[in-house]
């Protein structure tokens, strides 16, 4: 506790724990001591709580949740202590007030925020609920619908919205601390009863029961097996049914249940993994880079679907863009699409089109003139996946671009070294695998080649940061990390159809597990023709396949021609109105099980002498997930990724893996490596011609070593890539 000024009647309590003033045991202890001291000091007439360095607080210290309970200080009673103070307490909210930080503010009698501050109760995103009486105070302050929305989604809201909701009393544009002191002085002596939220009733709704029923249905639908949103709902519901103290008891019960859950552990693991992975390599960026990154001109080539998203993403990050296409027709089409995307993005932002400034040619220009590349610092090439074309472009880039320019290729599988070989500067060539839609998806896989320099890797990571994406550095191999792990997963899904399952059964099992979308719905969305083209290119199907090749064998391994057969019938998925499912029309989005496909599958099985069998959900999950995880172990052993956390961050951010399961490698650690190994052995024996089911040597080694915890896995490998 300190005094605002020597003679001031306002005591200041400053939360101090850089970088985000998390409420550690020490901070909580100091807060309690400060409150008691201010309360006991007769010369103190009001109290102001603020945070150090322009940030109120990011809430409870997440790392502290893994320490035993006896070493924790309970936040709820401290919030109650604030509220019961006989002297007015004002919260001065700058920067962020999140989770327990906002709960502290809710205990205060007045809340004043800077206009740029953000507030929220994001506990749900780390598998918890606001456990310091926030689920009971917030509905009393802003009403049940708004409180439920904030608590079950965890979204951050800007101060302007907080003011409209009544979450804060005032917002200011100038010095928040001084404004809060003025407010504290003004309210000295005023009655505090009406300002104590625990004493207020929860505002009534015209039909609370119906509202809650609908809200619960919505929460459940979105949660897909994720527990925290439903328990958040239960805690808020308790506020509508019980007196404050009983509601708090219910909140505590539910909080404890979540705190000890595997899901909360998974989400907190994912929280720290993402931050650790995103920090990798950044320190190697040349020091002037962070400053220059946003002011230099970037250019990329190709305005197809990926290019459009990438351009939009760059403009959103306020990076000047020159967009290049091969001819005017494509350029005009691309321009129209990019402008449309930007208009939509601008509508979602405060300040609209002006904020993005994309009509300004200094920020975004379109051209067909390749020579404009001579002066740029970074190129992102985004033409389609054709090695010959990419090499031709990189050869040209190498001649035209200035010596220091970084040359990035957006590819999902192609060999970076081969692309780099077309240039005279392979050290500056790097893969940047964006995910579609590129202006929405957070993942950026960054692939270094044999010659890529550490500076080039660091620069690409810096780019990811500027684009607000999660950059993950990986090595060069077919499909890199994400797609390489996806291949066996999709392969198993198709094999399951051959053996007796249906697309809707496989999708359902994986969606129930928590995936946003199952493999067949995903394939229909992405277009079956994409994989078909790639398989033709690899000689697995199409005219280059040698006559007499067995239908279901390639290079001595099991192969399923099912996706090729669908493509030969023009079933490319949503775009043709038919794929693994049928749709109302070409371009339709509602997948309906297709009787034609079912009878096609029966005929296919008959013609290949396959006996149809019932396949249960367990087998679907195990074969799809464990083959994907098995590939993950192979990737780690080969040094393509530096740690299991990298694989998990890729899967959560790029492949719709349910975050509450912590990523595939974390999931493997929770079900236990011996279990994963035993199942892979079983399926591998049943399908000896499927190499991807054969347990990886690294997995076997870890099991033999006694199933060590995930963070120790890498110590069992002798070799690590020098670049990772």
Residues labelled as active-site residues: 103, 123
156 token code pair: 């951050």
Determine the 3-state secondary structure of 248 from DSSP: helix
Residue whose beta carbon is closest to ligand 3H9: 99
Stretch that binds ligand 3H9, among 124-132, 390-398, 477-485, 616-624 (CB under 6 A): 124-132
What minimum distance in Å lies between the beta carbon of 510 and ligand 3H9?
Answer: 28
Residues 83-122 contacting ligand 3H9, CB under 6 A: 96, 98-100, 103, 122
The 10 Å Cβ neighbour count of residue 482 is 21
| Binding residue for ligand 3H9, selected from 28, 50, 126, 285, defined by CB under 6 A | 126
Q: What's the burial of 307, exposed, middle or buried (CB within 10 Å: 0-12/13-18/19+)?
A: buried
59 binds ligand 3H9 (CB under 6 A): yes
Residue nearer to ligand 3H9 on the CB measure, 19 or 706: 19
- Residue 290 or 404 having the CB closest to ligand 3H9: 290
Q: How far apart are CA 331 and CA 343, in angstroms?
A: 18
Rounded to a whole number of angstroms, the minimum distance from the CB of residue 48 to ligand 3H9 is: 21
Residue 279 CB, nearest distance to ligand 3H9 (Å)?
Answer: 7
Contact between 461 and ligand 3H9 per CB under 6 A: no
Which residue do the tokens 């205060």 mark?
Answer: 108
Shortest distance (Å) from residue 107 CB to ligand 3H9: 12
What is the rounded distance in angstroms from the CA atom of residue 451 to the CA atom of residue 425? 9
- The piece of 58-66, 296-304, 454-462, 499-507 that touches ligand 3H9 (CB under 6 A) is 58-66
- Report how far residue 158's alpha carbon sits from residue 299's, in angstroms, rounded to the nearest whole number: 33
Cβ closer to ligand 3H9: 92 or 126? 126
- Give yes or no for residue 75 binding ligand 3H9 (CB under 6 A): yes
Looking at the Cβ atoms of 119 and 567, the one nearer to ligand 3H9 is 119
Q: Interface residues for ligand 3H9 in 266-285 (CB under 6 A)?
A: 272, 275
Pick between residue 51 and residue 654 the one whose CB is nearest to ligand 3H9. 51
Among 31, 38, 50, 60, binds ligand 3H9 (CB under 6 A): 60
Q: In whole angstroms, give the CA distance from residue 151 to residue 142.
A: 12
Site for ligand 3H9 in 186-205 (CB under 6 A): none
Considering beta carbons, is residue 117 or 346 the nearer one to ligand 3H9? 117
CB of 501 to ligand 3H9, least distance (A): 40
What is the closest distance, in whole angstroms, from the C-beta atom of residue 38 to ligand 3H9 in the complex? 23
The DSSP line for 302-364 is --SHHHHHHHHHHHHTT--EEEE-SSHHHHHHHHHHHHHHHHHHHHTSTTHHHHHTTTSTTTE
**In 10 A of CB 396, how many CB atoms?**
15
Query: In this structure, what are the phi and psi dihedrals at residue 417, rounded to the nearest 5 degrees?
Result: -65, -40
Whole-number minimum distance, CB 547 to ligand 3H9, in Å?
58
Give the angle subtended at the CA of 319 by the CAs of 651 and 304, to the nearest 5°. Answer: 60
Judged by CB, which is closer to ligand 3H9: 99, or 663?
99
The 321-360 site mask, x for binding ligand 3H9 (CB under 6 A), equals ----------------------------------------
> Does residue 183 sit in helix, strand or coil?
helix
Q: Binding to ligand 3H9 by residue 123, rule CB under 6 A?
A: yes
Q: How far is CA 37 from CA 33, 43, 72, 101, 178, in A?
A: 6, 11, 22, 21, 22
Alpha-helical segments (H) within 467-550: 482-499, 503-513, 519-526, 528-537
**In whole angstroms, how close is the CB of 19 to ligand 3H9 at the nearest point?**
5
Question: Is residue 664 near ligand 3H9 by the rule CB under 6 A?
Answer: no
Q: How far apart (Å, rounded) are the C-alpha atoms in residues 555 and 553?
A: 7
CA separation for the pair 663, 648 (Å, rounded): 4
DSSP state of 23: B
Minimum CB distance to ligand 3H9, residue 265 (Å)? 14
Least distance (Å) between residue 51 CB and ligand 3H9: 11
Helical (H) or strand (E) element with 604: helix 595-607
Token representation of residue 269: 């693991």
CB 470 to ligand 3H9: min, Å: 11
# of chain residues touching ligand 3H9 (CB under 6 A):
25
Residues 157 and 150: their CA atoms lie apart, in Å, by 8
Q: Residues 6 or more apart from 613 whose CB is under 8 A from it?
A: 499, 500
> Which of residues 89 and 228 has its CB atom nearest to ligand 3H9 in the complex?
228
Tokens of 381: 């090439």
Q: Is 132 in the site for ligand 3H9 (CB under 6 A)?
A: yes
Neighbours of 82 (CB within 10 A): 22
Nearer to ligand 3H9 by Cβ, of 96 and 494: the residue is: 96
Of 125 and 411, CB closest to ligand 3H9: 125
List the x/- string, 14-53, binding to ligand 3H9 by CB under 6 A: -----xx-x-------------------------------
Sign (positive or negative) of CA dihedral 313, 317, 319, 320:
positive
- What is the spatial distance between Cα 169 and Cα 363, in angstroms, rounded to a whole number? 39
Beta-bridge partner residues of 51: 15
What phi and psi values does residue 27 have, to the nearest 5 degrees? Answer: -65, -45
Question: Cα 718 to the chain's mean position, in Å?
Answer: 31
The residue (of 255 and 300) whose beta carbon lies closer to ligand 3H9 is 255
- The nearer residue to ligand 3H9, 118 or 308, going by C-beta atoms, is 118
The answer to whether 423 and 398 are in contact (CB under 8 A) is yes
- Judged by CB under 6 A, the stretch of 61-69, 139-147, 323-331, 349-357 that binds ligand 3H9 is 61-69
CB of 656 to ligand 3H9, least distance (A): 21
Cβ contacts of 257 within 8 Å, gap of 6 or more? 231
Nearest-5° Cα angle at 592, 588 to 596: 110
Write out the two tokens for 49. Answer: 């709580």
Question: Residue numbers of the site for ligand 3H9 (CB under 6 A)?
Answer: 19-20, 22, 58-63, 75, 96, 98-100, 103, 122-123, 126, 128, 130-132, 134, 272, 275
């Amino acid at each position: 506790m300190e005094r605002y000024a020597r003679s001031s009647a306002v005591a200041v309590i400053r939360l101090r724990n850089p970088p985000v003033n998390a409420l550690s045991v020490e901070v909580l202890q100091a807060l309690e001591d400060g409150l008691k001291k201010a309360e006991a000091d007769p010369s103190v007439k009001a109290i102001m709580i603020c945070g150090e360095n322009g940030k109120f607080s990011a809430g409870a210290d997440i790392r502290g949740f893994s320490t035993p309970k006896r070493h924790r200080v309970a936040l709820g009673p401290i919030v109650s202590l604030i509220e019961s103070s006989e002297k007015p307490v004002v919260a001065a909210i700058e920067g962020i007030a999140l989770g327990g930080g906002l709960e502290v503010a809710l205990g205060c009698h007045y809340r004043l925020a800077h206009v740029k501050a953000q507030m929220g109760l994001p506990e749900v995103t780390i598998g918890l609920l606001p456990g310091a009486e926030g689920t009971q105070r917030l509905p009393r302050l802003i009403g049940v619908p708004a409180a439920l929305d904030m608590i079950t989604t965890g979204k951050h809201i800007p101060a302007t919205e907080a003011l409209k909701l009544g979450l804060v009393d005032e917002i200011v544009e100038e010095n928040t601390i001084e404004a809060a002191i003025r407010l504290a002085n003004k309210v000295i002596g005023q009655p505090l009863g009406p300002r104590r939220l625990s004493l207020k009733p929860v505002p009534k709704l015209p039909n609370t029961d119906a509202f809650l029923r609908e809200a619960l249905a919505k929460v459940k639908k979105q949660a897909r097996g994720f527990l925290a949103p439903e328990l958040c709902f239960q805690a808020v519901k308790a506020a509508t049914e019980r007196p404050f103290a009983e509601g708090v008891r219910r909140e505590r019960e539910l909080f404890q249940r979540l705190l000890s859950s595997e899901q909360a552990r998974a989400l907190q693991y994912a929280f720290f993994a993402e931050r650790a992975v995103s920090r990798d390599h950044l320190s190697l960026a040349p020091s002037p880079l962070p400053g220059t990154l946003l002011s230099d001109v970037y250019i990329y080539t190709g305005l197809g679907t990926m290019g459009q998203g990438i351009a939009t993403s760059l403009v959103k990050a306020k990076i000047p863009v020159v967009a290049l296409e091969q001819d005017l027709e494509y350029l005009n089409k691309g321009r129209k699409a990019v402008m449309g995307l930007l208009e939509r993005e601008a509508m979602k932002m405060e300040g609209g089109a002006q904020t993005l400034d994309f009509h300004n040619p200094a920020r975004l220009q379109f051209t067909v003139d390749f020579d404009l590349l001579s002066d740029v610092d970074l190129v992102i090439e985004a033409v389609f996946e054709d090695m010959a074309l990419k090499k031709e472009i990189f050869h040209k880039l190498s001649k035209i671009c200035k010596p220091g320019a970084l040359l990035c290729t957006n590819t999902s599988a192609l060999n970076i070294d081969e692309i780099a070989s077309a240039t005279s500067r392979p050290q500056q060539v790097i893969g940047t695998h964006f995910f579609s839609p590129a202006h929405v998806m957070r993942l950026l896989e960054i692939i270094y080649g044999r010659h890529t320099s550490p500076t080039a890797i660091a620069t690409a990571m810096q780019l990811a940061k500027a684009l607000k994406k999660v950059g993950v550095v990986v090595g060069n191999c077919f499909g890199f990390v994400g797609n390489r792990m996806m291949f066996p997963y999709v392969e198993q899904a198709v094999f399951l159809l051959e053996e007796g399952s249906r697309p809707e059964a496989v999708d359902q099992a994986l969606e129930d597990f928590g995936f946003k979308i199952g493999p067949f719905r995903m394939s229909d969305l992405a277009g079956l023709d994409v994989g078909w083209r790639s398989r033709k290119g690899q000689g697995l199907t199409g005219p280059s396949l040698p006559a007499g090749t067995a239908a279901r064998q390639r290079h001595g391994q099991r192969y399923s021609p099912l996706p090729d057969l669908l493509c030969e019938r023009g079933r490319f998925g949503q775009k043709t109105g038919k794929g693994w499912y049928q749709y109302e029309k070409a371009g339709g989005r509602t997948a309906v099980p297709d009787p034609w496909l079912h009878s096609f599958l029966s005929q296919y099985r008959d013609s290949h002498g396959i006996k149809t069998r019932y396949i249960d959900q367990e087998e679907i999950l195990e074969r799809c997930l464990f083959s994907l995880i098995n590939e993950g172990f192979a990737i780690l052993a080969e040094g393509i990724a530096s740690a299991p956390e990298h694989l998990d961050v890729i899967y959560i951010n790029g492949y719709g893996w349910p975050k509450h399961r912590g990523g595939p490698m974390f999931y493997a650690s929770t079900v236990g490596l011996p279990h994963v190994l035993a199942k892979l052995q079983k399926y591998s024996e049943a399908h000896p011609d499927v190499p991807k089911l054969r347990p990886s040597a690294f997995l076997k080694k870890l099991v033999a070593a006694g199933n060590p915890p995930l963070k120790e896995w890498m110590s069992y490998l002798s070799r690590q890539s020098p670049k990772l």
